[in-house]
């Protein structure tokens, strides 16, 4: 779970601070990671 949160955080920081790409497909897959973290938290 912590790996997923760290991954999403790193992507957000990269986009906001370092101007990395925020293409829709990339944001979609990051949202899937976030949804998986939330799903694991709800069932665990």
DSSP string of 1-44, one letter each residue: -HHHHHHHHHHHHHHHHH-----HHHHHHHHHHHHHHHHHHHH-
pLDDT of residue 38: 92
pLDDT of residue 44: 84
For residue 1, the 8-state DSSP code is -
- Compute the distance between CA of residue 42 and CA of residue 44 in angstroms, rounded to an integer: 6
pLDDT of residue 4: 85
pLDDT of residue 43: 94
- Compute the distance between CA of residue 23 and CA of residue 29 in angstroms, rounded to an integer: 10
pLDDT of residue 3: 86
> Number of folded domains in the chain?
1
1-44: per-residue pLDDT in tens? 788 889 989 999 999 999 999 999 999 999 999 999 999 999 98
- CA 27 remoteness from chain centre: 8
Full residue range of the structural domain in which residue 36 is found: 2-43
């Amino acid at each position: 779970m912590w790996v997923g949160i760290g991954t999403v955080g790193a992507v957000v920081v990269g986009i906001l601070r370092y101007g990395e790409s925020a293409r829709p497909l990339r944001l979609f897959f990051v949202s899937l990671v976030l949804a998986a973290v939330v799903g694991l938290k709800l069932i665990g």
